[in-house]
Amino acid sequence: MAALPRLVCASSIVLVVWAGFCSAVCVEVPSETEAVQGTHMKLLCISCMKREEVTANTVVEWFYRPEGGKDEPIYEYRKTNHEFPSRFSGRLQWNGSKDMQDVSITVLNVTLNDSGIYTCNITREFEFEIHRPLFTSSRLIHLTVVEEAGEDFTSVISEIMMYILLVFLTLWLLIEMVYCYRKVSKAEEAAQENATDYLAIPSENKENCAVPVEE
What is the mean predicted confidence (pLDDT) over 171-199? 83
pLDDT in tens, 61-115: 999 999 889 999 999 999 899 999 999 999 999 999 988 899 999 999 999 999 9
Whether residue 138 is found in the same domain as residue 166: no
Task: Flag whether pLDDT at 202 surpasses 70.
Answer: no
Give the rounded percent of residues in the chain with a pLDDT score beyond 70: 75
Phi and psi of 111, rounded to 5°? Answer: -120, 170
Whether residue 44 is found in the same domain as residue 136: yes
Whether residue 59 is found in the same domain as residue 92: yes
Going by the DSSP 8-state scheme, the letter that residue 46 receives in this structure is B
Q: Is residue 162 classed exposed, middle or buried when 0-12, 13-18 and 19+ CB atoms within 10 A define those classes?
A: middle
Q: Quickly state the pLDDT bin for 22 (edges 50, 70, 90).
A: very low
Q: Name the residue with higher pLDDT: 121 or 162.
A: 121
User: What is the tally of structural domains in the chain?
Assistant: 2
Task: Flag whether pLDDT at 21 surpasses 60.
Answer: no
**CATH no. for residue 95?**
2.60.40.10
pLDDT for residue 20: 38
Whether residue 80 is found in the same domain as residue 169: no
pLDDT for residue 81: 92
pLDDT for residue 5: 43
Range of the domain at 75: 27-147
Residue 76 lies in a domain: yes
| DSSP-assigned beta bridge partners for residue 118 | 64, 141
Task: Flag whether pLDDT at 207 surpasses 50.
Answer: yes
Sequence-distant (6+) residues with CB within 8 A of 145 are 34, 35, 36, 37, 41, 110, 111, 112, 113, 114, 115
Answer yes or no: are the C-beta atoms of 143 and 115 closer than 8 Å: yes
Q: Is residue 11 classed exposed, middle or buried when 0-12, 13-18 and 19+ CB atoms within 10 A define those classes?
A: exposed
Q: Tell me the pLDDT of the chain averaged across its residues.
A: 80
Q: Is residue 47 classed as helix, strand or coil in its secondary structure?
A: coil
pLDDT for residue 208: 56
pLDDT for residue 127: 78
Residue 97 lies in a domain: yes
pLDDT for residue 3: 46
pLDDT for residue 160: 87
Instruction: Supply the pTM of this predicted model.
Output: 0.58
Residue 31 lies in a domain: yes
Sheet holding 41-43, edge to edge: 41-43, 105-107, 92-94
Whether residue 49 is found in the same domain as residue 154: no
Task: Flag whether pLDDT at 163 surpasses 90.
Answer: no
Task: Flag whether pLDDT at 196 surpasses 70.
Answer: yes
Q: How many CB atoms lie within 10 A of CB 22?
A: 8
Question: Which region holds residue 204: left if phi is over 0, alpha if psi is between -120 and 50, else beta?
Answer: alpha
Going by the DSSP 8-state scheme, the letter that residue 32 receives in this structure is P
Q: Is residue 93 classed exposed, middle or buried when 0-12, 13-18 and 19+ CB atoms within 10 A define those classes?
A: middle
Q: CA–CA separation, 151 vs 20, rounded Å?
A: 29
